[in-house]
Structure 1
Amino acid sequence: MMAAIRVGLAGYGLGGRAFHAPLIRATPGLDLVAIATMKPVPDARTIADPMALAADPDIDLLVISTPNETHFPLARAALEAGKHVVIDKPFAVTTDEADGLVALAKARGRMLTVFQNRRWDGDFLTVRELVESGRLGDIMLCEMSWDRFRLDLRDSWKDAGGEGTGLLFDLGSHLIDQAMLLFGPPEAIAADLAVQRPQAIADDYFSLTLHYGARRVVLGCSTLVAAPRPRFALHGARGSFVKHGLDPQEAALNGGATPDGAGFGVEEARWHGTFTAPEGSVETIETIPGRYLAFYAGVVEAIAGRAPPPVDPADSREGLRLIELARRSAAEGRTLAC
């Protein structure tokens, strides 16, 4: 039997505290031994400097949940020290940085993956099953939205306007990844970015239109929507699927639920989506339970050499390329070929 993989967690904000730490602790084969944070953490050794954690010889796997601009230097240091690495999305802040990390991981023979946890949201699992089953027919319009109402700025690096900040890097990384899993890389992209809230610096609104021949995939996020749009709305030749609400796993984890507990990831029936047939009949589609634990189970399998990483870093690198193209499209006011 393989010894437990000793994990160091860099960062203990929302990502580290509510996502990574509970998921790591609930995954057989992983042992969370140290956390880089200035905060006291029960039942964990803490260290102030995340770079020191990257060099710690007692760590086999470094999980990086720090500000986006620090992802590259921390991951590079950990890979150079012979560690496996999990990085929060976005993978890095440029494709050049992403390419450098992929090459370094390959040269050192270490596992490198990206925490694209929204691949295991129950609503997305449901949408993916519907698309792959062909039940919707040829899909000509897919709209994926993620809305919030947050008028005030957060006292956080995410709203500070530094490199890799803004809504496109944050939630856009998820939506782009989901769109590419469903439909592959687009042929062209048209983007609109805006800073809408008073005193805001980083983009807090975006709309991306991905072109796939005649098909359009529209990705949208806003921080000033009190009545959110459907999270998913897919329209095909055989019917439409519309789904409101957000996957419950984040709220449950943030509230202290354990990810291996009974009922974790199960969505309330009132949030289930509906399938509408062309003749008008409506059917409720039960949401598949979400399963964030699948990501870290995949990490264990990848480190053991039994499976590829749960998220291919090449996928997240392609997502970064689309973010770069989107920013250019918005700046130039034109559609760009991909």
Structure 2
Amino acid sequence: MSKATSFDIAYYAGVSQSTVSRALRNSPLVSDRTKEKVQRIAEQLNYKVDKNASNLSTQQSGNLALLLFQDPTADESQINPFFISMISSIIRASNNKGYDLLVSFQVLTDDWHADYEDTRKADGIILLGYGDYTDYRDKLLHLEDQGTHYVRWGAARENQAGLSIGTDNYSGGAAVAEHLLAMDRKRFIFVGNISKGSPEFADRYSGFKNTIEGSGTDCKISQLDAVSSEEAGDKAAKALLSFDESFDAIFCASDIIAIGVMKRLRNSGVNIPKDVSIVGFDNIPIAEYLRPPLTTVQQNTLKAGEILVETLIANINSDAPEKPTLLAPKLIVRESCGTAREQSSED
């Protein structure tokens, strides 16, 4: 009869092999009930721990993995320029800490994490993007169950698994509202999804909307759904052109959306910023070269990369913070908003 393995125990216990390994090491990441079940089955199978393999599994690889949830093989796929600067920052921060960084583009399949988790190519994982947020949230629970060391970039939500580092999107939206109110704008449009599937966009909208409504001015706010793509921005702008009511300010949830909006409006004879002010979010490199240069909210990608790496290393060493980290955004004012004097002269 062949010698029992940890995979045999996993089969009979109904858990993963990684959970078996942690249970046999008395890891705090595994519940007492599961530990007892695994230990009982191990005894029944006369399983003996391979100490050489156990020692090997606790060794660190010196690698960190960066998983970006975008599929570059898809016909219409384009990497969000915001992530390009983020990746550069993470690579730099990893190297400064003495780690090599493995970068991989992923689609959110059931086993998207397996190559790194099971083969131990990396000591920990940094997650960027997510596509379907609901599916992504469920996958985070699996990482927690497996005891995988990871951090993610994005908005924090109550009862959500994992350590998160992200921009204070609410205050970013509030800053946009304050600026546009100071420019005497009255009729606002927010372009971006605000469902549970887009928590970052939802926070930007909340900060924007609450600030305008709390200003005491006679203003109107409307909202159009759009994912973060130029095509979605174009579609939203096309819909805006058929609106019965006028508008004088548009806040786009991302610069990519703003590009699509600006192109469609400009090609339709709308003067930016004389007819309408436009603001984006992210401050991607091309934003300052648009016609006119785009006012936007800058996310601190340099600091973000450093904190993502530092937090992941702390997680690997069991010394990670318990609360999410929020980075302050910065409003970058350019010509797409015009001036208060210019707008008021048209009223």
Give the alignment's TM-score, normalised by structure 1.
0.42
Greater Rg over alpha carbons, structure: 2
